[in-house]
Amino acid sequence: FSASNTFCQGSSTFLSASATVLMASPTINYFWSPPSGLNTTFGQFVIANPSVNTVYTVTAILGGCSGTSTIAVFPLPSPTLSI
C-alpha cells in the first residue's frame, strides 16, 4: 500500500496497491471496499475522501488466485475558530 493515513476532513488521500507476481506482464484486477468515500472501486489507484475513520480492503485477483490487504484512513476534523 501507499497512502497518507491521516488527512484534513474535506480533502482526500491517494491510495495505491501493488502486487508482486513472478510472471511477465500479468493482468491483475484490483477491487476496493467499502465504496463509501472512494472515487472508484476498481483499479490499482483510488482516491479516498471518507467523512469518518474507514478501513478499506483491496483484493488483487490474477486468474484463480487472490490476495487481500487493508488500510485504515483517518480524516482529521477541521479546527473551529472563534473571533
Q: Name the percent of the chain lying above pLDDT 70.
A: 88
Mean pLDDT over 34-48 rounds to 94
Q: How does the average pLDDT of the chain come out, rounded? A: 85
Q: What is the pLDDT, as a whole number, of residue 71? A: 92
Chain segment 2-40, per-residue pLDDT in tens: 556 777 888 888 888 887 765 655 688 999 999 999 999
**Looking at residue 12, what is its pLDDT?**
85
Query: What would you report as the CA-atom Rg of the chain, rounded to the nearest whole angstrom?
Result: 15
**What does pTM read for this prediction?**
0.80
